[in-house]
Amino acid sequence: MLRVDRLDVERGGARVLHAVDLHVGDGEVVALIGSNGAGKTTLLRTVCGLLAPTQGEVTVGGRSVVGVPAFELARRGIRYVPAERRLFPALSVRDNLALGAYPARPTRDRHELVFGLFPRLRERRSQVVGTMSGGEQQMVAIGRALMSSPRLLLLDEPTTGLAPALAEEAYAVIARLRDAGGLTVLLAEQQVHLALEVAARAYVLEGGTVTMDGPSGSLRDEPGVRRAYLGFA
């Protein structure tokens, strides 16, 4: 579904990603782990067309995304959920969700799917989003992306600002999406224990390059991963 080949991206004149190779299969959930400044957001923003690479290729479903504007990629089903969520705080839950379907019209089926995944959003569908808790806003952000039936969902640190219990709840929803099938997810995360639970495979990004990758189970046992990301000595 997603292929990234020898990708270089510069920001502010400095090279932020170098020779990154990565792929995500159809229906797969893959994690991108790495500490602050490793380049996770840069990679996600390049895949969804918000940044242009200086070298390399990115394809989704066999078609290049390089040079294609972000709104066109959104129409092709590539949806990015930024860590800061970018919701419309003065609008209700229902209206925020409806805007996620744009340019298509929001259907009742899609609303039902999102409300089925997040029952709390159904209860609060008329509430103005700016008055909701961080965890509830995260549900709206993911729900909004799902309103368009995306083929590739890019989630940037979905646990940002969430207490541990809510972070686990967010990941329980991602696991439900995974089990429901039909959706391909690349997610950036610093809460590595959670990411490795939900993702089948992961890539470790350090200083803009992939230093390790493999099935989540084997990465969890890697001494380098345990020391740097899982808090084991």
Ligand X SMILES: Nc1ncnc2c1ncn2[C@@H]1O[C@H](COP(=O)(O)OP(=O)(O)OP(=O)(O)O)[C@@H](O)[C@H]1O
| Distance of closest approach, residue 150 Cβ to Mg ion, in angstroms | 20
Based on CB atoms, which residue is closest to ligand X, 51 or 198?
Answer: 51
| Distance of closest approach, residue 38 Cβ to Mg ion, in angstroms | 8
| Distance of closest approach, residue 66 Cβ to Mg ion, in angstroms | 21
Residues 110-139 that bind ligand X (CB under 6 A): none
Helix, strand, coil share (%) of the chain residues, nearest 5? 40, 25, 35
One-letter amino acid at 80 equals Y
Query: Which does residue 62 touch among ligand X, Mg ion, none (CB within 5 to 8 A, set by kind)?
Result: none
Based on CB atoms, which residue is closest to ligand X, 115 or 229?
Answer: 229
For residues 189 and 160, what is the distance between their CA atoms, to the nearest angstrom?
Answer: 9
Q: Assess 41 for contact with Mg ion (CB under 5 A).
A: yes
Based on CB atoms, which residue is closest to ligand X, 40 or 94?
Answer: 40
Helix axes 93-100, 108-117, angle to 10 degrees: 120
For residues 150 and 100, what is the distance between their CA atoms, to the nearest angstrom?
Answer: 10
For residues 122 and 222, what is the distance between their CA atoms, to the nearest angstrom?
Answer: 42
Residues 37-96 that bind ligand X (CB under 6 A): 37-42
Asked if residues 216 and 201 have their Cβ atoms less than 8 Å apart, the reply is: yes
CA end-to-end span of the chain, whole Å?
Answer: 37
Based on CB atoms, which residue is closest to Mg ion, 41 or 148?
Answer: 41
Cis peptide before 103 (omega within 30 of 0): yes
Q: What are phi and psi of 28, to 5 degrees?
A: -90, 150
Each residue 134-173 as x (binds ligand X by CB under 6 A) or -, in order, gives ----------------------------------------
**Site of interaction with Mg ion (CB under 5 A):** 40-41
Q: Which parts of this chain interact with ligand X (CB under 6 A)? A: 11-12, 14, 16, 34, 36-42, 190
